[in-house]
Amino acid sequence: MEDHPVRVLAMAHYHQGSNRGGAELMLHALLRALAEAGHEVWMAATRSPVGEHLIDGVRVISGPASRTLLKQGPWDLAVTHLTETTRTVAWARAHLVPVATVVHSTHPWIGADLAFGADLAVFNSRWVADHHHRRGWTGHHLVVHPPVDAAEHRTRPGSRVTLVNLIPEKGSHLFYRLAERLPHLDFLGVIGGYETHRQDVRVLPNVRIQAHTARMRDEVWANTRVLLVPSDYESYGLVGPEAMCSGIPVLAHPTPGTREALGSAGTYLDRDDVDAWERALRRWEDPTKWAKASHAAAERARHLDPAPELAAWVEAAEKAGARC
C-alpha cells in the first residue's frame, strides 16, 4: 500500500446479489482488492435499490444519495465502466481526479467511451486490449482477467449437460437441438441474469430449467457434467473457468475471448455444426474419455490464479491515486 490510503470513488451500474453480470462481478473484484489492500472504497451504484451497504469492504451507496458522493471529496481516484463512463470522466476532469476505466468489450460504444478520456484502462482480456490498441488507444493500461475464486465454485460434478443464459446469442437453439437428439442425456438450462425478457425457455422431458441464481456451485456446477459455451461473442467469459474449477469439461464456440479463457483445455466446435457437438457429447459418455477432459479442465483452472493480476491492479491504482 502507498504511504497513505487512496480514497476511491467508483461510479457504475451495479446490481447487488444474484443480478450482477460478468462485468459487474469483475468491477467488484477490482474494488474488493483495493479495499483488502487498505484503501477507502466507495461505490455510487446507479441500479441498486435505495440503501447503504458494506459489501466485502466496499461502501455501496444507491438511490439519490449516491449522487451526493461526488461532493464528498476529496477523491484520489475514480473508477467506472459501462454507461457511467462519460459522466464520470467529465466530472473527474472538472475536479482533477484521475480515472480508471474498466473495459470489457470490443463493441464500438465501449471504444467511444474509452476515447473520451481515461488515465488508466483496465482490459478484461489480451485480445480486447489488442483490439483497442489497433483502434488508437495508446494510454496506460493493464489486463486483469475476470477473477474466479476456485473455492466459491469447486464441487463434485453432476450428471447434466448445461447451458448458462438461455438466449440465442449464447446458443439456446443449439442447446435444445442437442437435447432433442440425445433424449437419454439430462440437460440443464440456467436462466441468465440479463435479457430476462428474451430467455428461450422450452419444455422437453430431459431438460430442467434452473432459475437465475448466485449459488452456482450448489445449484449449477453440482448438477453439471459438461458445460456448453456456444456463444457468438465473449470478450472473455466467466462460466467456463468457473466450471473448470470442478473439473467440468467445456465445449465451446472458438471466439477469441473464449479461447483466451479456456486455453487448450477447451474443446472448440463451430456453433452451427450440431453434428459435431452431438458427436462430442456422445464421446464423453465414455467415462475414461470424460475423465481425461475433466483432468485437463481442472489443470486449466489451477493455472488461472487471479492474485498476480489483482496485485498489479492495486499497484497501478495506487500510483494513479498518488498523482492526484
**SS3 letters across 79-101:** EEEHHHHHHHHHHHHHCCCCEEE
**311 and 202 co-located in one domain:** no
How far is the first Cα of the chain from the last one, in angstroms, to the nearest whole number?
Answer: 16
Residues 70 and 168 in one domain: no
Kindly give, in sequence order, each residue whose CB lies less than 8 Å from that of residue 275, ignoring residues fewer than 6 positions away: none
Instruction: Tell me the one-letter amino acid at 97.
Output: V
What's the CA gap between 131 and 181, in Å, rounded?
A: 38
pLDDT at residue 110 greater than cutoff 80: no
**Are residue 127 and residue 230 in the same domain, yes or no?**
no
Which letter does DSSP use for residue 184 in this model? Answer: T
Residues 169 and 215 in one domain: yes
252 HSE (CA, 13 A, CB side): 30
Same domain, 285 and 227: yes
Pair 157, 299 in one domain: yes
Instruction: Return the HEC string of 244-310.
Output: HCCCCCEEECCCHHHHHHHHHHCEECCCCCHHHHHHHHHHCCCHHHHHHHHHHHHHHHHHCCCHHHH
Residue 2, domain member (yes or no)? no
Confidence of residue 16 (pLDDT cuts 50, 70, 90): low
Q: Give 286-324 pLDDT, tens digit per residue.
A: 999 999 999 999 999 999 999 999 999 999 999 988 765
What pLDDT, in 10s, does the model give residues 25-75?
Answer: 888 899 999 999 999 999 988 766 677 888 899 998 887 777 778 778 789
Virtual CA dihedral for 137, 314, 102, 50, nearest 10 degrees? -150
Residues 212 and 121 in one domain: no
CATH code where residue 259 lies: 3.40.50.2000
Indicate the number of domains in the chain.
Answer: 2
Together in a domain, 171 and 40: no
Query: What's residue 293's pLDDT?
Result: 98
Task: Give the domain extent around 129.
Answer: 7-147+306-322
User: Given the DSSP bridges, would you call strands 51-55 and 58-62 parallel, antiparallel or unpaired?
Assistant: antiparallel
pLDDT at 210 over 70: yes
Residues 287 and 310 placed together within one structural domain of the fold: no
Q: With H, G, I as helix, E, B as strand and everything else as coil, classify residue 143.
A: strand
Cell numbers 483497442: residue: 132
For helices 307-322 and 22-36, what crossing angle results, to 10°?
A: 70
| pTM recorded for the entire structure | 0.90
Sheet with 99-103: list strands edge to edge: 51-55, 58-62, 40-45, 7-12, 77-81, 99-103, 120-123, 141-143
Same domain, 132 and 157: no
Average pLDDT, the chain: 89
Q: Say if residues 26 and 61 touch (Cβ distance below 8 Å).
A: no
pLDDT at 19 over 50: no
